A and B are shown apart, each in its own frame.
Chain A
Amino acid sequence: MERLRRNPELQAWLLLAAPVIFLLIFFMAPLLIVFIYSFLERGKYGGVEWVFTLENIRRVFDPLYFRTFLRSFNIAIITTLITLILGYPLAYFIANSPPHRRSALLFALMIPFWTNFLIRTYAWLTLLRTHTGLINVSLMNWGIIEKPLPLFGNDFAIILGLVYGWLPVMVLPIYAALERLDKSLLEAARDLYASNFHAFRRVTWPLSIPGVVAGSMLVFIPSLGAFVTPAILGGGKSLMIGNIISNQFLGAHDWPFGSALSMVMMIAMLIATVIYFRWTVKSEALA
């Protein structure tokens, strides 16, 4: 006891013990299992045979699956871009509102989270469905269109659902960065002959990049692994890598292949993240 009191390092480790043990058991260990499984053969009724193979990894790059991989990346990138384009002005507006209104606006931004994500996605279904969806039915009743628009069961519907779901997550870190921004810096830029545009380009934007990076990561990563949204709004035709992975575990009982897909996706995500970080840090330095 006496030793503990005198040793701040030991105290720190004791405080960390609980989260470290938790993460070891429930995060690192499963990750390790997934890693090991990806090099094993599938069992006949699920599970694995303890035989080493590289076949699972090779299959990931089979055009059949790899194309879905690329499409998922594509969808995640487009989703991130659209949430950024929509989210940045929103964050900017909230950050520049009078303080008493800011909390009300942030509160409004969080309201959708009160409803279960699954329910909200189904709500989109009733809007978008091709023949019975509210949008197409209304437009056809009003005689604006003759044939239903392709709003459902495609990438458009998935991206719409993802943008809708992740927009608040993009807004919050950008808002935090903009709210911290010292307004006198903008006055200084204006004083030094910068137009409003140049003041934004040279001061506001570079100083908000940490928020943009954080927001983009928070949107990109879950979008890439999305599985509820494509399952519902993709209409079973348009799938993402998350759906294929879940199929391997739940439908095809091919755990090793599901693991291999997960591993490759995680590594790809890691690489994309690193590249993105490098690029933004460099563009910040150039400002």
Chain B
Amino acid sequence: MTDTYAVELQDVVKQFGDVIAVNHVTLQIHDGEFFSLLGPSGCGKTTTLRMIAGFEMPTSGAIYIHGQRQGYRPPNKRPVNTVFQNYALFPHMTVAKNVAFGLEMKKLAKEDIKRRVGEALEMVRLSGMANRKPKQLSGGQQQRVALARALVNRPEVLLLDEPLGALDLKLRKAMQLELKALQEEVGITFIYVTHDQEEALTMSDRIAVMNNGIVHQVGNPEEIYEHPADRFVADFIGETNFIPVKVVALSPAIVVELNTGERVHAGWAEEGLAVGDNAVLSIRPEKMDLLEPHERPQTPSHNIALIQGSISHLVYVGTDTRHTVTLRDGTNVVVRLQNVYIGEEPWEIGEETIVTWNAAHARILKE
């Protein structure tokens, strides 16, 4: 098998009784990559991670770590370590003993263990806590002990199962940056499981978006956000407007018709769509703008969508304002505009408006 990937999953299936937790997942994770498995709870991301760790065995398919097929190899024989969701620190051991555990099991010399535990605790800035018990530490400190306990073994791959889930928002933000910096410093492949899309976008080199055991899309954060592959990804990552449309043409240009009869062009259409199909036009609220009716361009262009509507709702959210616009067929779309105006909010409820966007930002997805 190829040895260019840190971890490779080939057509992996995991069934628990009648439930298919992971459904034909194929993934290639590069060496030194910060790779996230992102999806709602129950999407199979944790099961996938546990199969890489060796806590679960795939029903079918193969898992390779640096080209080595894992098969039924137990967790203690795999070159990976895990940071658990609830940290799983040994409550009867001190911090130093917790961190030393893996090295002791590997039967390293006492001096080496002592030195490496010292280094690991320094790395996570807990040198002064070596003789404390886990209970005497804060949540953030426990989480850093868990990290040190895994990293001290210099695993080929570090598996992290929602490690920041139990921390409060502010600490979580700080730990995100810290984790990312640490990953770049040690250069170890991180596979990170999370349901928090913002966390995944902030930290990852690449993300696999999962739902119902299926990988919907793999890509870097920008690809995932800007070019969602299907409706689930578009909906799960960030905020998106879905406008029901009918496909009018797919080549040379993609053209769709709204329920209102208005036609617009789009930059991309999901594979498998045919002319005449019902579909949705997906467009991010911040990619849109509002025009006064008299501002309608004299020379219409295919690249610019222009849709009539009226303002039905305004929500001020600090940096910008969410304008809900009701189109003529009753469809609501949200337009986010930055609050750069001087004086008063330029739009008021009930006002007629034209919603506009660049056709390249619109993506036609299956319903």
Interface residue ranges, A against B (CB under 8 Å)? 182, 184-185, 187-195, 198, 202-203, 206-207, 284, 287
Contacts and interface: CB of A to CB of B under 8 A. Distances in A.
B197 interface: no
Query: What range describes how many residues of B lie at the interface?
Result: 20 to 34
A114 to B, nearest CB: 37
B88 A184 contact: yes
B53 A191 contact: yes
A188 B142 CA distance: 14
B145 to A, nearest CB: 12
A207 B105 contact: no
Nearest to B94: A285
Interface in B40-92: 53-55, 74-76, 80-82, 84-86, 88-92
A193 B105 CA distance: 6
B287 interface: no
Contacts of B82: 187-188, 191
B75 A198 contact: no
Given A187-B84, A198-B105, A202-B101, A192 B153 contact: yes
B189 to A, nearest CB: 16
B84 A207 contact: no
B101 A192 contact: yes
Contacts of B149: 192
Contacts of B173: none
A81 B150 CA distance: 38
A187 B105 CA distance: 14
A190 B106 CA distance: 12
A32 to B, nearest CB: 40
Given A193-B153, A207-B92, A287-B92, A188 B84 contact: yes
Contact of B106 (A184, A193, A206, A207): A193
Given A192-B81, A193-B106, A198-B105, A187 B92 contact: no
Contacts of A195: 76
B102 interface: yes
B171 interface: no
18 contacts: A184-B85, A184-B88, A185-B91, A187-B88, A188-B84, A190-B75, A190-B76, A191-B53, A191-B75, A191-B150, A192-B101, A192-B153, A193-B105, A195-B76, A198-B105, A202-B90, A202-B101, A207-B92
Given A202-B90, A287-B93, 15 more contacts: A182-B88, A184-B86, A187-B88, A188-B84, A188-B88, A191-B75, A191-B80, A191-B82, A191-B150, A193-B105, A194-B105, A195-B76, A203-B90, A206-B92, A207-B91
Given A192-B149, A203-B90, A287-B92, A187 B55 contact: yes
Nearest to B149: A192
A73 B80 CA distance: 51
Main secondary structure of the interface of B (DSSP, over half): loop
Given A192-B153, A193-B153, A187 B90 contact: no
A195 B102 CA distance: 11
Nearest to A203: B90
A188 B146 CA distance: 10
A188 B92 CA distance: 14
Contact of B105 (A184, A192, A284, A287): A192
Most buried by B among A190, A194, A202, A207: A190
A190 B159 CA distance: 14
Contact of B74 (A190, A207, A287): A190
Contacts of B88: 182, 184-185, 187-188
Most buried by B among A182, A188, A191, A206: A191
Shortest beta-carbon contacts, A-B, top 6: A192-B102, A193-B105, A188-B88, A184-B88, A190-B75, A193-B76
B76 A194 contact: yes
B33 to A, nearest CB: 21
Contacts of A193: 76, 102, 105-106, 153
B53 A284 contact: no
A229 to B, nearest CB: 36
A278 B298 CA distance: 92
A189 B93 contact: no
